Structure 1
Amino acid sequence: MSNNPFKSIDSLKLSFNHIKIWYTAGMGFFTDAYDLLIISYILATIIDADKYAGIVIPGFTEYLIGPSSVFWTGLLASSAIWTAILGQLLFGYLGDRLGRKKVYGVEAALLTFGAFASALAWNLPALVAFRMIMGFGIGGDYPISSTIMSEYANVKDRGKLVALVFANQGIGSIVAAVVGIVSALTLPPDIAWRVMAGIGAIPAATVIYLRRKVPETPRYSLLVEGKVEEAKKAAKILGTELQVDKPVVSKKISISEFLAKYGMLLIGTAGTWFILDIAFYGTGVYSSAVIAPVFGSPFPSGHVTLTLPDFQADLARVLFQGAIPFLVGFPGYFTAVALMDKLGRKIIQLQGFVMMALIYGIVASLAITAGTKITGFVIPSIMAFAIYSLSYFFIDFGPNTTTFVVPAEVYPVRYRTTGHGISAASGKLGAAITTYFFPALLASIGVKDILVMLAILSIVGAILTYFFVPEPKHKSLEEVAKEELEEEQIQRS
């Protein structure tokens, strides 16, 4: 687009102000990833304490051991995911309707409260309820934080900055592993799980005030609200001036017009995220089934009651084994950040899906099964596990990062958080389906066939990326979204 009023923002060099906005936007995603890993640690701590050390945690053990254990385990594991879907849709809508500024900080307060309250829960239903509040806040964080970062970013570094917001997930995974393992090793189980639940709230709590102080983005102020002075004031935070002196608005369009113009794009951003989260959360659910034949279980077989120190040591080892794939994936986030504005979003997403399909297919072909269980591999098990773990690297250096970045760039300013919210909710729907159905699939068809299924899904993700996802690299947001502005009102510079 010629005569873009945001040319001065788009052409800025990367500055400390961009980094400050990144920190403010990124801490919610720390909690998101921390939560993904820590809930499996919490479940393992409570269940294994009873199973191997005879330690009963009143208000919790009776729900997770016994006739209704499958229901309660599934509910606890997935409760935050279901409410995240609602948060993504609602905050996505409100971010466009009321503005990014009016709702920013509310989601961080919700997830902070939910995480802290989870640590103080008196029984399992209370823990589920508090995690639902936290999930709602996590969901709200997706469309608002990504959009605020993209609308403040310069063109040259926009992909890198939005990807960096998301890369806090990688940091959250590492911290969850460290907190979980150290807590399991040093604290009794009834205290350990509470420490695990509460610590994830701290980073989000540090940015509530900062988020409330972030001004409305220059793009929303000018193009939606028509407030020239507000837009100029926001631009000054970045140390630049907007070249505009009259209200310039983005054209309103009906739902049918939106679907006609952006419907195929929505299939691209929502469909690929849906497929990605089936793989990302699915591998999290059945990772232990691949790990078990490699490392074995440190817990003794048979009816042996361990002393507390022995149980703590074995539990810490189990938790570490479960974290290994996440640790392998960690550099993938920052590889994506480094290359986002060089290779482009589309290439990174395509190669990620292709490599995931290859890795899942290779590991499935190498697996030796007895019934539905993997008993070993035709190559040394540790090599097979290394190949499997690489899928986490290519998930993160691939669609896990790009599906977050692209929707923050490709929709028009009036519908940007809505488009991102719908896309993110599609992903979490895939995650919720996975969390519910993969344990049953694990029992009925086994890991090998699940890996084959994921390989096929990854190929579908690559096809959707190729045909329905555009390349926003080195283009202004207005150009990418084909924004229709009343250009004759823009003061020519």
Structure 2
Amino acid sequence: MDRNPFKNVDSSKLSLNHIKIWYTSGMGFFTDAYDLFIIGAIIDTLINAHKYAGINIAGFTSYLIGPNSAFWTGLLASSAIITAILGQLLFGYLGDRIGRKTVYGVEASLLALGAFLSGISINLPMLILFRSIMGIGIGGDYPISATIMSEYANVKDRGKLIALVFANQGLGSVAAVAVGTISALYLPPDIAWRVMAIIGAIPAATVIYLRRKVPETPRYSLLAKGDVETAKKAAAVLGTSLDTSSAVTSRKVPFSEFISRYGKLLIGTAITWTMLDMAFYGTGVYSGPIVSSVLGSTFPHLAKGVYLPLGDFQADLAKEIFDGGIPFLVGFFGYFTAVALMDKLGRKLIQVQGFVMMAVLYVIVSLVMVASGPKVTGFMIPTLAAFSLYALSYFFIDFGPNTTTFVIPAEVYPVRYRTTGHGISAASGKVGAAISTYLFPTLLLTIGVKEILLMLAGISVIGALLTLAFVKEPKNRSLEEVSEEELIPSEGSEVSSGK
């Protein structure tokens, strides 16, 4: 007999309380995407202020101009990504060990604090340090927010709700394009980059209190802690109740057994995320230089020692930042297409088609490029058409693996390892992101955009194949069923199973 105590939660209707949990969970991802774009705009501002306007920003320009510029640029771009790996692993472990509720809000506090302090940094090493703190918060947000949403969601809308949490990245991207463009246009460079950085603290700060007030999830409370009253309280938040007629708990599984049972699945959720983030973060952080290589730089060619007037520089910088954001604006629609179709098409199909379309578009854009060494000299088709194809890749990134790699790990692991499994998967993604973000400045100078796109096409094909081989489909199945949760009797109840 099916004694799953969460059948009322699973069959509940979508409610305003689900939406409240979505907002509370989603603001961290707003900041994550905001940061992904804005750090590229900050780097553009700091470097181009010197290059085109002759402005030296004390404590920053000396690091980003000169023989070690690629090192410092790569470190600045990747610092938050590198420490996000630590945050994902640490908070993933703590979320299963001491509870989702116990650590919820800590990651948002780190995120907001790091973003604010980044904006008041006095030199580049300090900026890298504070962005590293922010990165820990960003990383911690992945496993905790995804799992809280999945464990509160009903079955019918679970994919949609988890995807909606992640779709806040789309809103963050649009905000970053707007803030970056307006700041560059109206503020002097030494102020503009600070405003860009500090504004990233606001969304996370708005949900710290709300996160501290969210009750522990019904599944973790009952199955991991055996706390029936807290589980009932959490279910009541959704206007429903638990079936506690037969008290059950989740069987404790040693980590070695978890790896043995879920190892192949972990390859599927982790390595596909690595493949995705190598493409997404490399092209995302350096969207400005890549778009400039396609459309051409907005800045005029100037003789050495000749600089633009400040107003002209600000206008050109704002246009370059906006142009670099166009692919993100295209990607915005991909997030919400994924939300609309997640529970209809299923996670696996969306992920595979996304990877395939990324590969196809990268190959097409690369093949129509005419390059001389690392420099793009022209296209075999109209430049606008080539750029449109490149921008379209962002739609399929977001209506594809960028969303599904976040959704799937929140559903397919048992309750005692759900945040751990998600944290390991997300950390694997950030390893790929850190590698590509750190190497991109050097790759742009050595092999150029054409060869980079071919490399990313190959990576996308690998992602599609790994998805087909190792990822399971969670659509329309309870968390206990899809994760093969072993429910055992508590206080003398009959044995129950989620299988």
Match of 2:398 among 375, 396, 399: 396
Which residue among 346, 368, 391 is the counterpart of 1:366?
A: 368
Letter in 2 for 1:314: D
Given that 1:293 and 1:376 are in contact with CA atoms closer than 8 Å, whether structure 2 keeps it comes out as no
Any stretches of 5+ residues in structure 2 without a counterpart? Answer: none
Deviation at 1:290, TM superposition (A): 4.3
* Helix, strand or coil at the partner of 2:271: helix
Give, in angstroms, the shift of residue 249 of structure 1.
1.1
Residue 484 of structure 2 aligns to a residue whose secondary structure is: coil
Change (3 A) 1:242 1:208: same
Contact 1:33 1:172 in 2 (8 A): yes
Matches of 1:125 and 1:290 in 2, distance apart? 26
CA distance in 2, matches of 1:110, 1:285: 22
Task: Please name the residue that 2:82 is paired with.
Answer: 82
Q: Which residue is 1:341 aligned to?
A: 343
Superposed CA offset, 1:25-55 (max 9, x none): 0000000000011011111111111111122
Q: Distance in 2 between matches of 1:345 and 1:199?
A: 33
8 Å contact kept, 1:78–1:432: yes
Q: Find the aligned partners of 1:254 and 1:25 in 2 and give their Cα distance.
A: 29
How much does 1:74 deviate?
1.5
The CA deviation at 1:288 is 4.2
Equivalence map 1:339-488=2 (5 Å): 339-486=341-488
Corresponding position of 2:231: 231
Any runs of at least 4 consecutive aligned residues in structure 1 with deviations exceeding 4 A, and if so which?
none
1:291-370 equivalent positions in 2, closer than 5 A: 291-301=291-301, 302-303=303-304, 304-370=306-372
Distance 2:165 2:343 in 1: 15
| Contact kept in structure 1, 2:488 and 2:495, CA below 8 Å | no
Partner of 1:203 in structure 2? 203
Q: Secondary structure at the match of 2:244?
A: coil
Q: Per-residue deviation at 1:255?
A: 2.1
Offset, 1:444:
2.8
Q: Distance in 2 between matches of 1:383 and 1:360?
A: 13
TM-fit CA distance, 1:246: 5.5
Aligned to 1:13: 13
Cα displacement string for residues 81-103 of structure 1 (whole angstroms, at most 9, x for unaligned residues): 11000000000000000000000
CA RMSD of aligned residues (A): 1.5
Greater mean deviation of Cα atoms: 245-254 or 218-227: 245-254
Shift of residue 282, structure 1, vs aligned partner: 1.9
CA distance in 1, matches of 2:57, 2:13: 55
What amino acid is aligned across from residue 451 of structure 1 in structure 2?
L
C-alpha deviation, 1:455, in angstroms: 1.2
Among all aligned residue pairs of Structure 1 and Structure 2, give the percentage whose two residues are the same amino acid. Answer: 71
Conserved in 2, the CA contact under 8 Å of 1:244 and 1:491?
Answer: no
Q: TM-score normalised to the size of structure 2?
A: 0.96
Identify the range of structure 1 (145-154 vs 38-47) with the bigger mean alpha-carbon deviation.
Answer: 38-47
Q: Deviations over 1:358-398 (max 9, x none)?
A: 11111111111112222111111110111111110000000
- Indicate the residue corresponding to 1:274 in structure 2: 274
2:179 maps to which residue? 179
Shift of 1:69: 2.2
Contact 1:119 1:197 survives alignment (8 Å)? yes
Change (3 A) 1:286 1:72: closer
Q: 1:486 aligns to what SS in structure 2?
A: strand
Superposed CA deviations along residues 162-207 of structure 1, whole A, max 9, x for unmatched, are 0000000010000000001000111111111111000011010000
CA distance in 2, matches of 1:399, 1:476: 22
Which residue of structure 1 aligns with residue 58 of structure 2? 58
The 8 Å contact of residues 354 and 396 in structure 2, kept in 1 or not, is answered as yes
What letter is aligned with 1:307? Answer: P
Give the SS at the match of 1:452.
Answer: helix
TM-score normalised over the length of structure 1 = 0.97
Give 3-state SS (helix, strand or coil) of 2:411's partner. helix
1:254 positional shift? 1.6
Q: Which piece of structure 1 moves more, 6-15 or 380-389?
A: 380-389
- Are the aligned partners of 2:70 and 2:441 in contact in 1 as well (CA < 8 Å)? no
User: Kindly tell me: are residues 443 and 68 of structure 1, through their superposed partners in 2, closer, same or farther at Cα, counting changes over 3 Å?
Assistant: closer
1:11-35 per-residue CA deviation (whole Å, 9 max, x = no partner) reads 0000000000000000000000000
Match of 2:283 in 1: 283
Unaligned runs of 5+ in 1: none
Alpha-carbon offset, residue 285 of structure 1: 4.8
Q: Is the CA contact 2:271–2:463 (under 8 Å) kept in the aligned structure 1?
A: yes
Letter in 2 for 1:267: I
| 1:489 matched residue in structure 2 | 493
Match for residue 114 of structure 2?
A: 114
Give the match for residue 249 of structure 1: 249
Distance 2:62 2:438 in 1: 21
